[in-house]
């Protein structure tokens, strides 16, 4: 299983763009990169998934360099409600084995 490394915490202010980088040096060829958001006492919620290059949806963008050894979740114009823990997962979800790392606690300040 690919191990992931993320910053433990990040602070930001409302309206700013936030970029959270995840390192996954031993990512396998079949592995996808998925980011989840978790609020206290709730289950994680899917944000975005990608394999390579760039993926964008209505809430975030995911940048993956050619070597795929890292990825960056970009949250445009964050608000207070984006304060949460963000997890980067690497693996093949169909095989079931995606391991949660420590996650990044994002705190958005007014």
Residues composing the chain: 110
Instruction: Figure out which of the listed residues 14, 16, 92, 109 binds another protein, where binding follows CB under 8 A.
Output: 92
For residues 86 and 45, what is the distance between their CA atoms, to the nearest angstrom? 9
Q: Structure tokens of 82?
A: 């984006």
From 15-23, 34-42, 60-68, 75-83, span contacting another protein (CB under 8 A): 34-42
For residues 55 and 87, what is the distance between their CA atoms, to the nearest angstrom? 17
Instruction: Figure out which of the listed residues 44, 70, 75, 84 binds another protein, where binding follows CB under 8 A.
Output: 44
Instruction: Figure out which of the listed residues 5, 17, 45, 57 binds another protein, where binding follows CB under 8 A.
Output: 45
**Greatest CA span in the chain, whole angstroms?**
41
For residues 1 and 10, what is the distance between their CA atoms, to the nearest angstrom? 26
Q: Is 34 in the site for another protein (CB under 8 A)?
A: yes
- Smallest separation (angstroms) from another protein to the CB of 23: 16
Q: Is 43 in the site for another protein (CB under 8 A)?
A: yes
DSSP class of 41: T
Which stretches of the chain bind another protein, using CB under 8 A?
A: 32, 34, 36, 41-46, 49, 51, 87, 92-94, 96-103
């Amino acid at each position: 299983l690919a191990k992931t490394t993320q910053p433990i915490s990040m602070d930001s202010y409302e309206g700013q763009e936030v970029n959270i980088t995840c390192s996954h040096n031993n990512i396998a060829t079949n592995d996808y990169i998925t980011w989840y958001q978790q609020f206290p006492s709730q289950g994680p919620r899917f944000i975005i998934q990608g394999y390579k290059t760039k993926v964008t949806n209505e809430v975030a963008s995911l940048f993956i360099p050619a070597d795929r050894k890292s990825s960056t979740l970009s949250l445009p114009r964050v608000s207070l409600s984006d304060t949460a823990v963000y997890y980067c997962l690497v693996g093949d979800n169909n095989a079931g084995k995606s391991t949660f790392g420590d996650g990044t606690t994002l705190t958005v300040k007014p």
